[in-house]
Structure 1
């Protein structure tokens, strides 16, 4: 590639190897469970990249991947709940992005780890509801998801807790989450562009990572068809491990910078 087309601040080849591996593992998780690309990708990418760049790359990949799934998901999506959830996310995503931009890297890692921990707790302890909650509760859940989305490209924990508690069919839950994640990724990308966090470097990385993401998602879907219901326990274990590793990295960084 001619000199000048590659941004000077592009990660080195030594960093790109781990980044490609993280994208593959996160896509595998997404294909295996039907959700969670950013939940896995953001914490692990933050080991090799600055947190803001990790969030930007995950948001771009999640948006591009979501576009591929939209047509099928839109047919089974539960639109009445999604409208209020999306409205809350629209309101809260920009403040979350501003919070991310002003945080020290290690503190951002701790907040990302906390988001993963919340996802584990939500998937374990979310009670089932007998009827759909009202617009106010759905709007609040969407606002919390939007805050997570802007701060870490990670709307999954609140959205999962909401949809897994609803009396909907598995197909409606999965499709609604897929459409919501596409919308939230678009919001996150727009907020990141507004603060200058997505530019040529981030787009080049996302385009380079897209084939890896698509291949990993397809392989994960094939594994899901073989494993059946075992995927839930694997998901919880993976999320708990990522939360612990990311928290350890953030704590070590904060202690190392202490006088």
Structure 2
């Protein structure tokens, strides 16, 4: 690999850098195509290379420059009666998720991340649907889970995807608008909390610079794919990419591949 690239990733092998680049591209494709899922793809794979704490800082640095303007463009279409209570409870639960991330050891966190993501994909792919308009207790509960998962692994979109993507009354355009708006506002909030906890560092920012370009390319391709795909293809591609990423990241395979 070029010396400039390796200099930006101190202490990481060429194979590790390749994993980060591939995870970023796949995550960008899913994010552009579905409106969510970057962290669900990137986090388990990046955790194999740099560990969950550093991977969380990388996710924020890579996604923030894209999430904020995208959220601004989707805010008017979002259904704020659903988004606002979710944001409130997610913010309150976020510090607890960060505490778990720091307290749990690296391998345990990798197992938790992979299992949570695999369970979410299984639930979404099972055909489960939520009927009716969600009440305040349900929205608040989903918000708590989102904040907790966001602090642990920046996968706060996972419970939201189950909640909104699975809702029969929401089409994919409404789902994308809700998710994009939520991510933009929560990015500002989580950034302040991550910085205060020492997770956002200059090292993470420098590592994120080349990954931002890859992420942007993936998002561009994913967005164009979204415009062409039908509803069934839209869901199947998202489920498949997230499922494979979580499966590959399981610590179960460490001995097999020599990690």
TM-score, length-scaled by structure 1: 0.86
Contact 2:21–2:214 (8 Å) recurs in 1:
yes
Task: Pick the aligned partner of 1:186 from 185, 188, 196.
Answer: 188
**5+ long unaligned stretches in structure 2:** 1-6
1:232 aligns with 2:252: no
Counterparts of 2:191 and 2:112, CA distance in 1 = 20
1:94-149 alpha-carbon deviations (Å, 9 max, x no partner): 1100110111111010111022113213322432322x222222111100010000
Q: 1:71 to 1:57 in 2, by over 3 A?
A: same
**5+ long unaligned stretches in structure 1:** 1-5
Report what 1:77 is aligned to. Answer: 78
Report what 1:145 is aligned to. Answer: 146
**How far did residue 75 of structure 1 move?**
1.5
Counterparts of 2:25 and 2:157, CA distance in 1 = 19
1:155 aligns with 2:186: no
TM-score, length-scaled by structure 2: 0.86
Report what 1:3 is aligned to. Answer: none
Cα RMSD for the two superposed structures: 2.3
Counterparts of 1:32 and 1:169, CA distance in 2 = 14
Report what 2:213 is aligned to. Answer: 211
1:198-223 alpha-carbon deviations (Å, 9 max, x no partner): 11111122233222211110012223
1:52 aligns with 2:53: yes
Task: Pick the aligned partner of 1:196 from 176, 194, 198.
Answer: 198
1:42 aligns with 2:53: no
Contact 1:36–1:156 (8 Å) recurs in 2:
yes
- How many equivalent pairs are there? 246
